[in-house]
């Protein structure tokens, strides 16, 4: 009896442990991008890592991790690419429905901030 339990438990444990080793997301060099941004203060390199991560994940039909499109969009916004930022904020919103309220508000603020205000005629 103990032997049969052991025989069925060992393969299950092996599958469980090896399944945890694989991520459902493609992380690429995301950790390197964080180091470049927060330690090296190299925003151009960070932007390149994020862009490459997104392109590689899509090319390999893997999932882009939560927050990466928003992070890349913010990087684009910081350098003045408003349309690119909105595109990636929208992509984050489409990939992760839980991000809809935040991304929608962010898109509204970015577009309002960069839309010329009309003067009220009185």
Q: Which two tokens stand for residue 38?
A: 């927060």
Q: What is the pLDDT of residues 44-103, one digit of tens each?
A: 999 999 999 999 999 999 999 999 999 999 999 999 999 999 999 999 999 999 999 999
The pTM of this model reads 0.74
> Which domains does the chain show, CATH number per domain?
25-113 (1.25.40.10)
pLDDT at position 12 is 52
Q: What pLDDT does 11 receive? A: 53
- Residue 85's pLDDT is 97
Joined together, the tokens standing for residue 36 give 């470049």
Q: What angle do CA 8, 14, 22 make, to 5 degrees?
A: 145
d(CA 64, CA 50): 10
Q: Is the pLDDT of residue 10 over 50?
A: no
Spatial contact of 64 and 94, defined as CB atoms under 8 Å apart? no
Region 98-111 average pLDDT: 96
In contact, 99 and 93? CB cutoff 8 Å: yes
Q: What is the mean pLDDT of the chain?
A: 84
């Amino acid at each position: 009896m103990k032997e049969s339990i052991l025989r069925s438990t060992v393969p299950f444990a092996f599958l469980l442990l090896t399944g945890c080793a694989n991520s459902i997301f493609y992380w690429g060099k995301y950790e390197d991008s964080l180091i470049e941004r927060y330690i090296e203060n190299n925003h151009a390199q960070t932007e390149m890592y994020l862009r490459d991560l997104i392109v590689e994940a899509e090319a390999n039909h893997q999932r882009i991790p939560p927050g990466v499109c928003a992070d890349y969009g913010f990087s684009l916004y910081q350098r003045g690419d408003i349309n690119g930022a909105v595109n990636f904020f929208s992509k984050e919103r489409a990939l992760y429905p839980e991000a809809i309220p935040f991304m929608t508000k962010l898109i509204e603020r970015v577009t309002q901030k960069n839309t010329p205000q009309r003067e009220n005629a009185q």
